[in-house]
Amino acid sequence: MYKKLGEDLKIYMKNSEKEKVSVLRMLLSQIKNEAIRIGIKDISDEIVFNVLKRSIKEIEDNIINYTQLGKMELVDKEKFELSMLKSYMPEQISDEELINLVKKEIDSIKNFSQKDMGSVITSITTKFKFQVDSARIAKIIKEKYL
């Protein structure tokens, strides 16, 4: 994935797509900084996706804050960055699939209660690392099983 980001950056530079170049440069810089921080040379997909996920969350928070402040020009800029970053993430599990996964995990636990919620979330997020957000799992559990 890191290699693909670099290749896409070159394409955007050739096509003079300044906004996309800016977003990818920022992302590649964050990925390199993360690799340096943890002390590795070979950048794995896991590092790329962790940085992407963190950046997406930060941008979503920025959109909320800028909207509340009425700074719509910044909201538009952040939405562009968000859509671009999300395009590099693995496809998310559908709500229907996620409901089935949660049901299967809960059915495997005798006398499921709220104290078991963490283990269900951990089990699913471990298996489907970047395809599902723990908040979505928690919401389904709370709505359907608690």
Amino acid code (one letter) for 21: V
The upper half-sphere exposure of residue 128, i.e. CA atoms within 13 Å in the direction of its Cβ, equals 18
Whether residues 79 and 126 fall in one domain: no
Distance CA 97, CA 139 (A): 14
Give 10-residue mean pLDDT values along the chain (146 residues).
95 96 96 94 92 94 95 95 94 91 90 89 90 90 85
CA distances in angstroms from 136 to 12, 34, 73, 131, 142, listed in the order given: 34, 26, 29, 11, 10
The residue segments making up the domain with residue 26 are 2-86
Question: Can you give the pLDDT at residue 146?
Answer: 75
Q: Is the pTM of this model over 0.75?
A: yes
What contacts 34, CB < 8 A, 6 or more positions away? 47, 50, 51
Whether residues 73 and 111 share a domain: the answer is no
Write the CATH number for 67.
1.10.1510.10
